[in-house]
Amino acid sequence: MGPGWRAASAAMVAGSVVIFGALCRVAVVLPRPAAVRSRPSRAWRWRNLLVSFAHSVLAGLWALCSLWYSPELLSDIQDGYSVSGHLLVCFSSGYFIHDTLDIIFNLQSRSSWEYLVHHAMAISAFVSLIITGRFLVAAMLLLLVEVSNIFLTIRMLLKMSNVPSLALYEANKYINLVMYFAFRLAPQAYLTWYFLRYVEVQGQGAFLTANLLLLDAMILMYFSRLLRSDFFPSLRKGSAGRDVDGEKFLID
């Protein structure tokens, strides 16, 4: 890709950072549930989750629609290219950069270190895709995870707001599990199989494969947390009496 297109891509990433910064300011003035207002330590986490929810809706539906309307991209995961996919990767790169800065500047690094590791992996991988123009289809498949994150974030927002409707939480719990399988575990498993079988373990291919395997481990860990929390609470260890206000775990 030429220098001009790379400069334009950098501008798009920067523009995305600004957009999410503006959404963050909007989230500050939005009404908050009584359970959040009564616990000031939850204010940052609530706002951060709202911005995360906005990214999940936009990026998840964007990835889904892009692949739905251009299924031929799936036949060339390494070198397939679409402008929509390129813009999506720039857009999500901006979100990950914004969220990283938000965590650091609000002194949440210790409680949100898992997010920082995840974001560092995503940013470094996406920058390599933007520069080379290769593996963009793989990134689009990975960003299908944002469809699952819509319901995962709803789950966390419901828990924070102490919504009295058990039926609402229960319904979302099962939808979240189905979406986790369909849009997180399935694409991740397919890409892992594809990279291990077809991608040369050198250069960018080796770097992305290592990132993918580390992400596999993280996703399985989060899945075990989700199952213990929502379906097998008796198996949870060390959670009684633990105050997680202000903490931003991928799975609480």
Is 236 inside a domain boundary? Answer: no
**For the residues 192-217, what does the mean pLDDT come to?**
94
Is 20 inside a domain boundary? Answer: yes
Residue whose pair of structure tokens reads 């828990």 in the numeric block: 159
The alpha carbon of residue 143 and the mean position of all alpha carbons in its chain are separated, in whole angstroms, by 7
Is 105 inside a domain boundary? Answer: yes
The predicted pLDDT at position 1 comes to: 59
Is 251 inside a domain boundary? Answer: no
The predicted pLDDT at position 239 comes to: 47
What lies within 8 Å, CB to CB, of 44 at 6+ separation is: 106, 108, 246
Question: Which tokens go with 251?
Answer: 């799975």
- pTM of the entire predicted model: 0.91
Q: What is d(CA 52, CA 17) in angstroms, rounded to the nearest whole number?
A: 13
Q: What is the pLDDT of residues 147-189, one digit of tens each?
A: 999 999 999 999 998 876 788 999 999 999 999 999 999 999 9
Is 32 inside a domain boundary? Answer: no
Within the chain, residue ranges assigned H as helices are 3-29, 34-37, 43-69, 83-105, 113-132, 136-142, 145-161, 166-180, 186-198, 203-230
**One-character DSSP codes across 147-193:** HHHHHHHHHHHHHHHT-S-HHHHHHHHHHHHHHHIIIIIHHHHHHHH
Is 235 inside a domain boundary? Answer: no
Is 61 inside a domain boundary? Answer: yes
Q: What is d(CA 159, CA 161) in angstroms, rounded to the nearest whole number?
A: 6
Count of structural domains within the chain: 1
249 has pLDDT over 50:
no
The predicted pLDDT at position 201 comes to: 86
| Exposed / middle / buried, residue 244 (Cβ in 10 Å: 0-12, 13-18, 19+) | middle
Angle at which helices 43-69 and 3-29 cross, to 10°? 140
Average pLDDT, the chain: 90
Per the structure, the complete domain to which residue 198 belongs is given by: 3-27+40-69+77-229
Question: Which tokens go with 232?
Answer: 């097998």
Is 117 inside a domain boundary? Answer: yes
Q: What is the pLDDT of residues 93-128, one digit of tens each?
A: 999 999 999 999 999 999 899 999 999 999 999 999
What lies within 8 Å, CB to CB, of 83 at 6+ separation is: none
Residue among 53, 30, 13, 28 nearest 154 (CA) = 53
